[in-house]
Amino acid sequence: MPRCRHAFIIALLTLPLALGSCATPATPPAPVAVAPAPAPAPIAPPPPAAPPRQTALGEHGVIAAIRAGAADRRGAILGALGNRPAAGLDHGAMEFIIRTQDGRTLSVVQPNTEQLAVGQSVIIQQAKQTHLARAD
């Protein structure tokens, strides 16, 4: 039995060598022609930004936030520093945070005599002092 076993193992070891010699030599793949990619189309510059909408009265914006007592806080800070509060900051004034149409953020402190609310469209009047008025 051991001879048969040795013959079988030798046959198994020589089989891959025998089959490998029958194979045809590998040929390299044929080159493939690749066309160059077309040039990208030129990108047009973005259109110029529209100027902020302005009327004869002033620039338009929307109230983003309102804080009560803005003048009182500023007066307390200035008083603690030994300075007088700025002229025009009287009690009852509120701070309005405005988002203009061109994306700027402004802060205006004034009394809320017109009962302005968050989300309301306003006109920003700039003269000696900045003032908000209803846009509608």
Residue range 7-57, pLDDT digits in tens: 777 777 776 666 665 556 667 778 877 788 888 888 888 777 666 555 556
Please state the pTM of the whole predicted model: 0.48
Residue 17: inside a domain: no
Q: What is the DSSP letter of 132?
A: E
Q: How many domains does the chain have?
A: 1
Residue 90 inside a domain? The answer is: yes
| Mean pLDDT across 101-108 | 88
Per-chain mean pLDDT for the chain = 74
Please check whether residue 49 lies inside any domain of the structure. no
Domain presence at residue 97:
yes
Tell me how far apart the alpha carbons of residues 65 and 48 are, in angstroms, rounded to a whole number. 29
Domain that residue 107 falls in: 59-134
**What pLDDT band is residue 85 in, cutting at 50, 70 and 90?**
very low
Residue 92 lies in a domain: yes
pLDDT at residue 64 is higher than 90? yes
